Chain A
């Protein structure tokens, strides 16, 4: 169990540029989540995948945001035309299948990607 990994750890970009973040979940986990955390706040849910299917999107996920998980393994989160308000920590988490009983309720988080939009 190598844990959830995220790349890059830090990204500085100019307003208007596009950025893409990658998340690699724990290998046997079929559920994957993206959260956004701004300064002084707890993480806020963005979107959720079960295998390759995107099952839920928060209203926080504007049209400039898109997430994919093409083969049900790693996921990418793309932000187009970045704005200063997009500056935040983007966290990825994964969990066991729901059929794993209580283990399916525990989410394991990666270290996050800190985005700064200048």
Chain B
């Protein structure tokens, strides 16, 4: 069965500093990979996704993520964090065939300090 690990429950970053949120997955083959963001009381918004090809993918709001097959990782990055980025971030995977249920990590809560 596939699984997703987000090792950091909380991360605090100063506004303007860079950000990296970690995500590792366990799956027999290369899955499709996603990052979602959830603001308080809101649903999940898709930030970016990786299906194949270039391992560095760009998303919305200035986020990017890099797929590293050798490390089974799909870390999310942003060069300069804004206060409005404070939210919870979820990494998710799905098989690259068959029907499309998503498996999510437990999330990382990002706090942005002034």
Q: Residues on A close to B: CB < 8 A?
A: 4, 6, 31, 33, 35, 40-45, 48, 50, 55-56, 91, 93, 95, 98, 102, 104-112, 114
Contacts and interface: CB of A to CB of B under 8 A. Distances in A.
Nearest to A50: B99
Contacts of B36: 109
Contacts of A31: 100
Contact of A104 (B43, B92, B100): B100
Contact of A43 (B45, B46, B49, B104): B104
A91 B44 CA distance: 9
Q: Chain B interface residue count: which class?
A: 20 to 34
B102 interface: yes
B46 A106 contact: yes
A35 B94 CA distance: 14
B70 to A, nearest CB: 24
Contacts of B103: 45
A44 B4 CA distance: 12
Nearest to B32: A105
A45 B100 contact: no
A108 B46 contact: yes
B45 A42 contact: no
Contacts of B32: 105
Interface string B33-53: 010100001111110010100
A43 B99 contact: no
Nearest to B100: A105
Given A102-B51, A105-B51, A105-B94, A45 B101 contact: yes
B85 to A, nearest CB: 19
